[in-house]
Amino acid sequence: MAHRTCTLDGCGKPLIARGLCGKHYASARSNGTLPEDWPRKRVTPTGPCTVEGCTKPMFATNLCGMHYRRVWANGTLEGTAPKRGSEAPGWVGDDATYRTVHSRLVALRGKAADHVCVDCGGSALEWSYDHSDPNEKHDRRGGDYSVDPERYEPRCRRCHYWFDHA
C-alpha cells in the first residue's frame, strides 16, 4: 500500500488524520478551521475496493469507505447493524479497559453532567470511582478503576481531584 501524504498543496509530510499531517491537523483542531491560504488538493483513490462485486474506490485501506466502516463497527463485511454488548467484537467482559468501563457507565447511568456532585452539590462533570472494589483494576498510566458501574459517583472536576488525591 502506498504511503499517503498530507492533502494540503505543497505539503509532503506523512498523513496523520483526516487527510492532514500532524502540523496541519493540530492547527485545524486548535483554530477550528484551516487558513484560506492552504487549499486542499483532491484525495485520489488508490484503486477499486477489494470486496468482490464492489466498484467503489478504495482509499487508505484495501476497502472503500462503506466496507471499512462495516468492518470497524461489526468486525465483518456484512451490512448488519453494529453488535452491542457481549456480542461486539471489542467486548472483553470483566477485563474491560478504563475507557470501555466509562463508556458502559454513560450508557447505563447517563452523563455525569446530568447529575449533581455528591460532595458539593454543584453540577457534576465526571464519573468518579469510589475505590471500594476488592477486584480493582489498574490502567497503563497507573489509574485505578472498577468494572462495576455501581462503584462510581458523579463529581465536579474540583471534588473529583480532591477525592482522588485525599
Distance between CA 17 and CA 6 in Å, rounded? 9
Is 40's pLDDT higher than 60?
Answer: no
Is 36's pLDDT higher than 50?
Answer: yes
Q: What are the CA-CA distances from residue 101 to residues 2, 78, 144, 149 (Å)?
A: 37, 27, 12, 8
Q: pTM to 2 decimals?
A: 0.48
**What is the distance of C-alpha 92 from the center of its chain?**
17
Distance between CA 150 and CA 127 in Å, rounded? 11
Closest to 90 (Cα-Cα) out of 78, 82, 81 = 82
Q: Give the mean pLDDT of the chain.
A: 79
Is 1's pLDDT higher than 70?
Answer: no
Q: Which residue has the higher pLDDT, 75 or 102?
A: 102
Q: Which of 6-20, 82-96, 117-131 has the highest mean pLDDT?
A: 117-131
Is 93's pLDDT higher than 80?
Answer: no
Is 55's pLDDT higher than 80?
Answer: yes
